A = this chain, B = another copy of it.
Amino acid sequence: MKLNTKSRYAVMALADMSKFSRKKPISLRDISLRQSISLLYLEQIFLKLKKNNLVKSTRGTNGGYVLIKDPNEIKLSEIFLALDEKVKTLGCNKESKKGCNGKFTKCITHNLWDELESHINTFFENKKLSDLIKINQNRI
């Protein structure tokens, strides 16, 4: 079980924004330098964040991105959702009638994985962007 870089960078970048400016647009170049994340990769990530109304953009000189909501109103689950990033512990398709074994009964471990999925999602649901600024006063 591994968390991908896209999700990690997204949270990292948004945390960076929360910490620095809430009014003046922040350029991806600055975030890229501060957090050591590839600029081109950040661009890709921010397009998704924008499409999902987590940030808004200003073009041109002194342009950049600004958070739309307050950090204490942004749940991590929203960020993951914006990136199409899902927790997937089940072997079967949740929607499908068929189990991971191809049969029409769900397998012996189905409930377990479902429980695990909820367990993880709960974490993302209860964590807000503001939470990780508080704990990290001392970090950039």
Which residues of A does B touch, CB under 8 Å? 1-5, 8, 11-12, 15-16, 19, 35-36, 85-89, 91, 100-103, 105-113, 115-116, 119-120, 123, 127, 131-132, 135-136, 139-140
Expressed in whole angstroms, the Cα–Cα distance for A86 and B3 within the complex equals: 11
Expressed in whole angstroms, the Cα–Cα distance for A85 and B2 within the complex equals: 10
Q: How many copies does the complex hold?
A: 2
Interface pair A88/B12, CB less than 8 Å apart: no
Expressed in whole angstroms, the Cα–Cα distance for A131 and B115 within the complex equals: 12
Give the residue of B3, B119, B135 whose beta carbon is less than 8 angstroms from that of A89. B3
A1 closest partner in B (C-beta): B87
Interface pair B36/A108, CB less than 8 Å apart: no
- 24 residue pairs bridging A and B, Cβ less than 8 Å apart: A1-B1, A1-B88, A3-B88, A3-B89, A3-B113, A3-B116, A5-B91, A8-B109, A12-B107, A15-B108, A15-B109, A35-B107, A106-B139, A107-B139, A108-B136, A110-B139, A111-B135, A111-B136, A112-B131, A115-B123, A116-B120, A116-B123, A119-B119, A119-B123
